[in-house]
Structure 1
Amino acid sequence: MTVLVNPRALSDHKARDFKMLVDGKWEAGSAQPIERVAPSHGIVVSRFPNGSKADADRAILAARKAFDHGPWPRMTASERSAILLKAADLIAARAEELAFLDAIEAGKPISQVRGEIAGSVDIWRYAAALARDLHGESYNTLGDGTLGVVLREAIGVVSIITPWNFPFLIVGQKLPFALAAGCTTVVKPSELTSGSTLLLGEVLQEAGVPDGVVNIVTGTGPEVGAVLTTHPEVDMVSFTGSTGVGKLTMTNAAQTLKKVSLELGGKNPQIVFPDADLDAFVDAAVFGAYFNAGECCNAGSRLILHKSIASDAVKRIAELSRDVKVGDPLDPTTQVGAIITPQHLEKIAGYVAGATSSGAQVAHGGEKLDLGMGQYMAPTILEAVTPGMAVAREEVFGPVLSVLTFETRAEAVEIANAIDYGLSAGVWSRDFDTCLTVGRKVRAGTIWMNTFMDGASELPFGGYKQSGLGRELGRHAVEDYTETKTLNMHIGGRTGWWMPR
């Protein structure tokens, strides 16, 4: 049984009409707007401009002009930092408005989104600090006649393409670092969840970001995203989304050899040894699997349990899962909200059906939930899963937990690594030698030890293998938006190479 929080009808809610931002001007677009139906309530809550190829082209040219001739790349680092800090304060001041937009457009629990907005404020402040710490190198050891200086310069115009699952948080993992480096940008949020990103445009204008530095074009991938990844005036593409679209992005960008940063899918394991603190682990397993309704690249969707504890661990996880509150994202007690679209709900249910037909057993949940409106999935635990099943290898992107077992440390590592992804993993043991040994052998960008899905602005985030390229957060984030330039300076008289002196 799952605790249900039935959505309250939004009878007095009026759909919000948004405009997109191009070269400092707000535009409605010429096509019929995109209507966003709330996944939790089934009514239209937002309308976004359905941007065109021409809109994307104009935005890119505005960013190009702002980079080549505008003040932003030519400001001092302290000036850019001050604007980013003001933006952070303005985000904090509009936190509740931003949280409501992400909750109603994406179906995310409002309490969770409030935490994401607070986390984003911290990221903007961290990026502001890094803006003043971006520096190069000097080499005074090349002989009396040479001084070498290595510069970090803004890479130029950056296309930023963000997904629907963390609309405001993920743009905050990209945009402030690009701005800190001195870049100009064109941002394309998901056409499903564009509201909070468009509101961010208002915030940045108020903070003092010059026209053309941040452009926001809403629309579909084939219409807008394709231009942002192929246009010759774009120097870099930063994309977060599915691995399939990430590959297409990389192919498009390769035509003009753009730099690419990709944060893609994950099928993240939690490896649990017999000496683990099971109380702490069980809580982390439930949180890691169901957070954001499992629509999270970092979700701990695979449990790799030692056979000696598997039965007890699954029983305890199922017991805690029964207390998880699923339903209305606007209710502050809700822990798991709605599924993003009806089509995605069917995809999740299809994975569960495929697993059970292949021999997996449902230990909890497994069904779609009828709450009278919207679309919801019960938190689900599948045991007797084998490594070859699709549910153990592919990203379900829903609240579905697959349980596998192992007997030896080497077998656990082999199961963890036997997939195409390598975003993150967790290791649970009271023996730090076990944690460190396994953590060094699992091929993933982040390894949590006796915790799961913790993070900080200072810590880099990104994946191995088909989970992506590059890193976000940490000082690596701002460096990713730069080019390296070498100045080789001759001092004093020079001996001729061919001409006698």
Structure 2
Amino acid sequence: MSTAPSPTGDGLAAYRMWIGGQWREAASGARFESTDPFTGLPWASVPDAAAEDVDQAVRAAEQAQYGAWGKTNGFERARLMHRLADLLEREAADLAATETRDNGKLLREMLGQLEYLPAWLRYFAGVADKLQGEVIPSDRPNFMVYTRHEPVGVVGAIVPWNSPLMLLMWKLAPLLAAGCTLVVKPSEHTPVSALEFARLVDEAGFPPGVFNVVTGQSADVGQALVEHPGVRHVAFTGSPGVGVKVAQSAAAHFARVTLELGGKSAQLVFPDADLEAVANGVIAGIFAATGQTCVAGSRLVVHREVHDALLSRVRARTERIVLGDPTSEDTEMGPLSNPAQFKTVSGFVERAVAEGAGILTGGCPDHGLGGLFYRPTVLTGVTPDMEVAREEIFGPVLSVLTFDTEEEAVDMANSTEYGLGAGVWTGDVRRAHRVAHSLRAGNVWVNSYRVVAPNVPFGGTGASGWGRESGIDAVREYTVTKAVWIELSGATRDPFTLG
């Protein structure tokens, strides 16, 4: 069956779902449209799945899990993963363009992500043939005991719209290394890139059913995936509220869960920091991705002594940020990805001002550009109890808080329910370690911000989630440990006879 999308009568690219190695329509025949956030116009049409389609995908994944894929060894899995990495490298530019059209983020940001993603496949391909157990000394001389690390089974993944393929890959690469299969439900706002990626999985030679994509615009589709008894592990990236529901639904049939949820990350700036470097780090941390990233440095916690000097730099650079067409090389910040997010960001700023925050710059839509553009915003006079200091906004809004002592800075940073990321800016190496150790966050960057790598675990604490993605820790999320006892002597006895 052809893998290329076909044009619809109104000129949209019409895609089909990828289930069990075949391109399929939804059982109902229903479809929905994906809209370009920059133009506000629909550009693609995809199947609108329901529970029946989810069931077909999970059954296909089960068939592969307990069939062809389950019979492969780590060396064969590694070979296929290296092949997929090569294909992803070849198609990175086209996939990046697809993501930009779907979510409105800068083309160069999406291209940077896509060009880096093959490293995840290659790193975890190197792990696939090294998932060895160990021999455990036994207190019984007639027993040999050893362990095996076996795949947990079918994984159901739900990924968001801000970095669709990157957050998909953070799940896919380690679960492939572990020997699992996947059914992924991409966001209804960005359904296309996962379908384009499925072409590469097929070309790489993975057995049918190892990778399946189900698209749908209703939350019922994700719920059907999480609740399916054939799904043994759920990997979810999204909001804490939905994460709680995912965990509860998965627990009902004893499926394991990894949750990569929201963040309200603080960047702590001490008086001895390099303010030029800090300004660059702050701008990159909150505005480079239009604030639409889970580790956005949305709280600037700055020492009173350097508050004014730093904010003058941040304001000057913020007001020079170029908004516009995300495909243009000159553009530095694109639109928000959908109308609901635009409304959310606007509401947060309006309520912050009502609570007493001041607007240093921004604080309004950019009507000259139309669409979903919101000016990069810096709010001053923010206190830890304000909504904008506690809740994730997921937009280009920076809240500025001031401190006098190191203890106060740490308390401010730890004052939210989130614990995903934090930045520490200081020239004092002792303070850097001391503060990094005191912060309740799964990721701490010192004199830098928002750096990731395939071999470094990523995840949060508290309302920022459970489990880790990337690094060896990620493979452990997708395996179960089996203990094997081997009786060596053949000398068994009647269990009811003493002596």
TM range (shorter): over 0.9
Matched, 1:463 2:460: yes
Residue of structure 1 in register with 2:114 after alignment:
117
Query: For residue 72 of structure 1, what is the amino acid of its counterpart?
Result: W
Helix, strand or coil for the counterpart of 1:126? helix
Helix, strand or coil for the counterpart of 1:48? strand
Residue of structure 1 in register with 2:152 after alignment:
155
Residue of structure 1 in register with 2:47 after alignment:
49
Q: Quick one: which of 175, 181, 185 aligns to 2:182?
A: 185
Residue of structure 1 in register with 2:6 after alignment:
none
Query: For residue 62 of structure 1, what is the amino acid of its counterpart?
Result: A
> Aligned equivalents of 1:382 and 1:392: distance in 2?
10
> Aligned equivalents of 1:234 and 1:243: distance in 2?
21
Give the 5 Å matches for 1:304-343. 304-343=301-340
> Aligned equivalents of 2:175 and 2:154: distance in 1?
9
Residue of structure 2 in register with 1:78 after alignment:
75
Matched, 1:213 2:234: no
Helix, strand or coil for the counterpart of 2:336? coil
Residue of structure 1 in register with 2:379 after alignment:
382
Query: For residue 422 of structure 1, what is the amino acid of its counterpart?
Result: G
Q: Kindly indicate whether the alpha-carbon contact (under 8 Å) linking 2:324 and 2:369 is maintained by their aligned counterparts in 1.
A: no
Once the 2 structures are TM-superposed, how far is the Cα of residue 84 of structure 1 from its aligned partner? 0.6
Residue of structure 1 in register with 2:34 after alignment:
36
Give the 5 Å matches for 1:214-363. 214-363=211-360
Once the 2 structures are TM-superposed, how far is the Cα of residue 209 of structure 1 from its aligned partner? 0.8
Residue of structure 2 in register with 1:413 after alignment:
410
Query: For residue 277 of structure 2, what is the amino acid of its counterpart?
Result: A
Q: How many percent of aligned residue pairs carry the same amino acid?
A: 38
Residue of structure 1 in register with 2:103 after alignment:
106
Helix, strand or coil for the counterpart of 1:368? coil
Could you list the per-position Cα deviations for residues 40-69 of structure 1 after superposition, in whole angstroms to 9, with x for gaps in the alignment?
Answer: 11111111110111000111111112212x
> Aligned equivalents of 2:351 and 2:431: distance in 1?
34
> Aligned equivalents of 2:346 and 2:484: distance in 1?
58
Matched, 1:398 2:395: yes
Residue of structure 1 in register with 2:64 after alignment:
66
Q: Kindly indicate whether the alpha-carbon contact (under 8 Å) linking 2:32 and 2:217 is maintained by their aligned counterparts in 1.
A: no
Once the 2 structures are TM-superposed, how far is the Cα of residue 31 of structure 1 from its aligned partner? 3.7
Against the structure 1 CA distance between its residues 371 and 83, is the aligned structure 2 distance closer, same or farther, given a 3 Å change threshold?
farther
Helix, strand or coil for the counterpart of 2:146? strand
Residue of structure 2 in register with 1:445 after alignment:
442
Give the 5 Å matches for 1:424-435. 424-435=421-432
Once the 2 structures are TM-superposed, how far is the Cα of residue 142 of structure 1 from its aligned partner? 3.7
Once the 2 structures are TM-superposed, how far is the Cα of residue 144 of structure 1 from its aligned partner? 2.8
Once the 2 structures are TM-superposed, how far is the Cα of residue 122 of structure 1 from its aligned partner? 1.1
Q: Kindly indicate whether the alpha-carbon contact (under 8 Å) linking 2:189 and 2:338 is maintained by their aligned counterparts in 1.
A: no
> Aligned equivalents of 2:89 and 2:477: distance in 1?
26
> Aligned equivalents of 2:104 and 2:243: distance in 1?
24
Helix, strand or coil for the counterpart of 1:218? coil
Once the 2 structures are TM-superposed, how far is the Cα of residue 380 of structure 1 from its aligned partner? 0.5
Against the structure 1 CA distance between its residues 285 and 488, is the aligned structure 2 distance closer, same or farther, given a 3 Å change threshold?
same
> Aligned equivalents of 1:221 and 1:430: distance in 2?
50
Between Structure 1 and Structure 2, how many residues are aligned? Answer: 488
Against the structure 1 CA distance between its residues 371 and 48, is the aligned structure 2 distance closer, same or farther, given a 3 Å change threshold?
farther
Query: For residue 52 of structure 1, what is the amino acid of its counterpart?
Result: A
Residue of structure 1 in register with 2:470 after alignment:
473
> Aligned equivalents of 2:264 and 2:322: distance in 1?
24
> Aligned equivalents of 1:412 and 1:437: distance in 2?
12
> Aligned equivalents of 1:78 and 1:291: distance in 2?
39
Once the 2 structures are TM-superposed, how far is the Cα of residue 327 of structure 1 from its aligned partner? 1.5
Once the 2 structures are TM-superposed, how far is the Cα of residue 490 of structure 1 from its aligned partner? 2.2
Q: Kindly indicate whether the alpha-carbon contact (under 8 Å) linking 1:459 and 1:473 is maintained by their aligned counterparts in 2.
A: yes
> Aligned equivalents of 1:317 and 1:373: distance in 2?
25
**Structure with bigger RCO (C-alpha 8 Å, 6+ apart):** 1
Helix, strand or coil for the counterpart of 1:377? coil
Once the 2 structures are TM-superposed, how far is the Cα of residue 356 of structure 1 from its aligned partner? 1.0
> Aligned equivalents of 1:97 and 1:242: distance in 2?
29
Residue of structure 1 in register with 2:87 after alignment:
90
> Aligned equivalents of 1:114 and 1:142: distance in 2?
56
Once the 2 structures are TM-superposed, how far is the Cα of residue 14 of structure 1 from its aligned partner? 4.7
Residue of structure 1 in register with 2:198 after alignment:
201
Mean Cα displacement is larger for which, 316-325 or 133-142?
Answer: 133-142
Once the 2 structures are TM-superposed, how far is the Cα of residue 222 of structure 1 from its aligned partner? 2.5
Once the 2 structures are TM-superposed, how far is the Cα of residue 223 of structure 1 from its aligned partner? 2.4
Helix, strand or coil for the counterpart of 1:325? coil
Mean Cα displacement is larger for which, 422-431 or 118-127?
Answer: 118-127
Q: Kindly indicate whether the alpha-carbon contact (under 8 Å) linking 2:57 and 2:183 is maintained by their aligned counterparts in 1.
A: yes
